[in-house]
Amino acid sequence: MNQPTALTILYDDVVACRLCPRLVEYRERIGQQKRRAYLDCTYWARPVPGFGDPMARVLALGLAPGAHGSNRTGRPFTGDASGNFMYPILHRLGFASQPTATGLDDGLQLHDLWITAAVRCAPPDNKPLPAELANCAAFTRRELAALPNLKVVVALGKFAFDAYLASAAGSDSPPFRKSAYPFAHAAEYLLPSGIALLASYHPSNQNTATGKLTAPMFEAVFARARQLAMEERGVRG
């Protein structure tokens, strides 16, 4: 009998989590009320675990599940405008097997990429509380540790960027000052742990519809991530 992997155990622990009463109440209430377009859908309405290639060298870290996107489908950036923007780009770059993401049974597979979020339950107004982020931080550290080939982290938005730095600073890696790594779109850093950290504006509908984040901007960040994943050294500080 095969022993469960660290990622399998983490999946089960994430899905069963009820540490944050506010998030538990919100995600489950949304799953009952639903949006008119999804009245016939059964909402996931639980914490959303990460997914992708267990041997991935690149990790994309988002903010949190969308109330009617990931909270409905059970998979990061699936069934919402952010995913509709993101997956065609990941497909062009070879990270995704197809340009669409609609649900758990859509056949999508990731190559050399793992996708997760700093907070795994849909928060009201897309604004997790500090205590909720802290509760999820232990999952983030376990997830990072369970990806043996990880070389590059792409943080999608400042919240995810700060969350990753906090997790990295609280790990066994050499100490560093978080203030030395300011967030900016396309910023690129080599952390003391040897992980390359790249930053992107979040692919939210607000950012993409207003032109703050364009497809070429987003594609350039992930093209750089792919390049760094294949290099041994050479990350700009």
Q: What is residue 178's predicted lDDT score, i.e. its pLDDT?
A: 80
Does some domain include residue 131? yes
In a domain, 235, yes or no: no
Query: In the sheet where 196-200 sits, what is the strand order?
Result: 51-52, 113-117, 58-62, 152-156, 196-200, 188-190
Is there a domain that residue 1 lies in? no
Total domains in the fold of the chain: 1
Domain that holds residue 52: 6-229
What amino acid occupies position 77?
Answer: F
For residue 173, pLDDT beyond 60: yes
**Does residue 96 lie within any of the structural domains?**
yes
Res 174 pLDDT > 80: no
User: What's the pLDDT tens digit per position in 53-73?
Assistant: 999 999 999 999 999 999 999
Provide the pLDDT confidence category of residue 116 given band limits of 50, 70 and 90: very high
**pLDDT tens column, 1-18:** 456 799 999 999 999 999
Token duo for residue 208: 């993409």
In tens, the pLDDT along 187-215 reads: 999 999 899 999 999 999 999 999 999 99
pLDDT in the model for residue 177: 81
Here the CATH number for the domain that contains residue 23 is 3.40.470.10
